[in-house]
Amino acid sequence: MAQTLRHAFAAPMDDLVLKAVASVDDDRHLLADDVRGSIAHVATLAAAGVVSSGQAANLTAGLERILAEGLELALEDEDVHMAVERRLEDLIGDDARLLHTARSRNDQVALDLRLFVDARQSDLRDALGELIEALEAKASEHRTVVMPGYTHVQRAQPILFAHALLAFRDQFERDVERLAIKFVSPLGAGALAGSAVGIDPAFTARTLGAAGAFANSIDAVSDRDFAAEFVFAATLASVHLSQLAETLVLWCTSEFGFVRLPDALTTGSSLMPQKKNPDCLELVRGRAGQSLGDLVALLTTLKGLPVGYNRDLQETKPPVIRVADTVRTSALVCALAIRELEIDAAAMHVAASDDGLFATDIVERLVASGVPFREAHERVASVVRTGRAFTSLTDDDWRAFDIAPECAGIFTPEASVASRTSPGGTSPQSVRTQLARPRRT
């Protein structure tokens, strides 16, 4: 197949150079967006009187056929833009040669990536929405289950299991809110300077459902802020997904034993017959690293660029394509894991009844009886220092520490969580309020 765009050259492009500069492998993901952009461009050319209505119909029909049939991108095409133009010429003949009027591959690729981001951020919002729903459903189903809450992975205070699930829900809601990158159309910027052909970029923008058109044609072709914002938002979501995955991996160990993943979600060992491993969650955790790498790669590509389009910008596509796919899959895996998670409420209750978890309850009761907080903290700390279980102390023992026995008393995790009535806290009432609040997204 002949190389394209070589009429001014005395020699074909060196094979190695062609392989090094071609973007066809990444561009396969952008084919539909590229063709959609071209269909909008045809409408713009027709509105400006650059092509006749017959030519516009011919061009549009050819492009729609490519959209329906798909297209194999050949290395010789160099990129999706030239591949589509070549195929269009095969399909409709000379009219195809009008298509590239008043645009360049620079504004074209910027548009393709914008369309891609716009669609993928919506897919990712949907996947995270599924996870949010799963977390809320699980929290609602197990709203009275108590468990130990942790700081530093050390048992801290009793909490409601639902409260922990809703903490993740809140993170993912923020992620969804962040995935709201505005779609501005760069088409019509040309290579950098705009066009002498009287086309209206705002018309193209409206045709594509964009929020508006570019204001500066040089910025339009080199701006990849939207890509960086998307990769950042998706990567932060992947960090949150990784935290959820890590939490579930811990909770389903025999050491914690709070939850279990059903067989359909676990993988076996090639050697140890008893193993049922949470590999799908470990890979959610592992792949967050890959996304972080992609974010750094993208920003690093941008940082050295002088004003205007530079070919380095081609390298902003792989991070966007990879992160969109990886993070969506991770969100769906987590949604499935949460939906199917089996809960061992009894094991959580036993762990939440650990004596030491009630130290703060005693402090807070002393505070309620008028003891200054720091003083109360020190009195309870003196008991802790003895290493004795609170339940083993007699009334006289408590008095010896200047603690009224009624401030010590019998503790249950249920009573402990019930006392934490402050807004956003772990009391059943507060968790009910958190659960009932309308979805922000």
Q: Which is nearer to ligand ARG, 230 or 390 (CB)?
A: 230
Residue 267 β-bridge partners: 277
Residues from 21 through 80 that contact ligand ARG (CB under 6 A): 23, 79
Q: Which is nearer to ligand ARG, 105 or 142 (CB)?
A: 105
- Alpha carbons 108 and 102: distance in angstroms, whole number: 11
Closest CA to 259 of 272, 273, 278: 278
Closest CA to 103 of 54, 57, 45, 23: 45
- Only one of the segments 223-231, 272-280, 308-316, 408-416 lies at the binding site for ligand ARG (rule: CB under 6 A); that segment is 308-316
Q: Which is nearer to ligand ARG, 243 or 310 (CB)?
A: 310
- Alpha carbons 330 and 164: distance in angstroms, whole number: 20
Q: Is 274 exposed, middle or buried (0-12, 13-18, 19+ CB in 10 A)?
A: exposed
Q: Give the total of residues touching ligand ARG (CB under 6 A).
A: 8
In the complex, minimum distance from the CB of residue 218 to ligand ARG, in angstroms, rounded to a whole number: 14
Q: Which is nearer to ligand ARG, 77 or 361 (CB)?
A: 77
Q: Any contact of residue 106 with ligand ARG (CB under 6 A)? A: yes
In the complex, minimum distance from the CB of residue 109 to ligand ARG, in angstroms, rounded to a whole number: 4
- Only one of the segments 43-51, 103-111, 249-257, 362-370 lies at the binding site for ligand ARG (rule: CB under 6 A); that segment is 103-111
Look up 152 and say whether it is catalytic. Answer: yes
Q: Which is nearer to ligand ARG, 75 or 418 (CB)?
A: 75
The secondary structure of residue 189, as a DSSP letter, is -
Closest CA to 230 of 117, 86, 139: 117
The catalytic position among 7, 23, 142, 152 is 152
The catalytic position among 140, 163, 238, 269 is 269
* 51, 313, 351, 376: residue in contact with ligand ARG (rule CB under 6 A): 313
The string of DSSP letters for 103-142 reads --HHHHHHHHHHHHHHHHHHHHHHHHHHHHHHHHHHHHHT
Give yes or no for a contact between 235 and 294, defined as CB atoms under 8 angstroms apart: yes
Look up 41 and say whether it is catalytic. Answer: no
Strand, helix or coil for residue 310:
coil
* 36, 103, 105, 114: residue in contact with ligand ARG (rule CB under 6 A): 105
In the complex, minimum distance from the CB of residue 187 to ligand ARG, in angstroms, rounded to a whole number: 13
Q: Which is nearer to ligand ARG, 88 or 359 (CB)?
A: 88
- Only one of the segments 152-160, 209-217, 311-319, 362-370 lies at the binding site for ligand ARG (rule: CB under 6 A); that segment is 311-319
Residue 158 β-bridge partners: 148
Phi first, then psi, for residue 68 (nearest 5°) are -75, -40
Token representation of residue 287: 């792949």
The secondary structure of residue 277, as a DSSP letter, is B
In the complex, minimum distance from the CB of residue 291 to ligand ARG, in angstroms, rounded to a whole number: 21
In the complex, minimum distance from the CB of residue 189 to ligand ARG, in angstroms, rounded to a whole number: 12
Residues from 208 through 237 that contact ligand ARG (CB under 6 A): none
In the complex, minimum distance from the CB of residue 112 to ligand ARG, in angstroms, rounded to a whole number: 8
In the complex, minimum distance from the CB of residue 37 to ligand ARG, in angstroms, rounded to a whole number: 13
- Alpha carbons 323 and 291: distance in angstroms, whole number: 6
Q: Which is nearer to ligand ARG, 106 or 171 (CB)?
A: 106
Tell me which amino acid residue 401 is: F
Q: Which is nearer to ligand ARG, 79 or 95 (CB)?
A: 79
- Only one of the segments 104-112, 234-242, 353-361, 417-425 lies at the binding site for ligand ARG (rule: CB under 6 A); that segment is 104-112
Classify the C-alpha dihedral 228-230-231-232 as positive or negative: positive
Q: Is 385 exposed, middle or buried (0-12, 13-18, 19+ CB in 10 A)?
A: exposed
Give yes or no for a contact between 288 and 239, defined as CB atoms under 8 angstroms apart: yes
- Alpha carbons 310 and 314: distance in angstroms, whole number: 8
- Alpha carbons 2 and 213: distance in angstroms, whole number: 36
Strand, helix or coil for residue 87:
helix
In the complex, minimum distance from the CB of residue 313 to ligand ARG, in angstroms, rounded to a whole number: 5
* 3, 60, 314, 412: residue in contact with ligand ARG (rule CB under 6 A): 314
Active-site positions read: 152, 269
- Interface residues with ligand ARG (CB under 6 A) are 23, 79, 105-106, 109, 311, 313-314
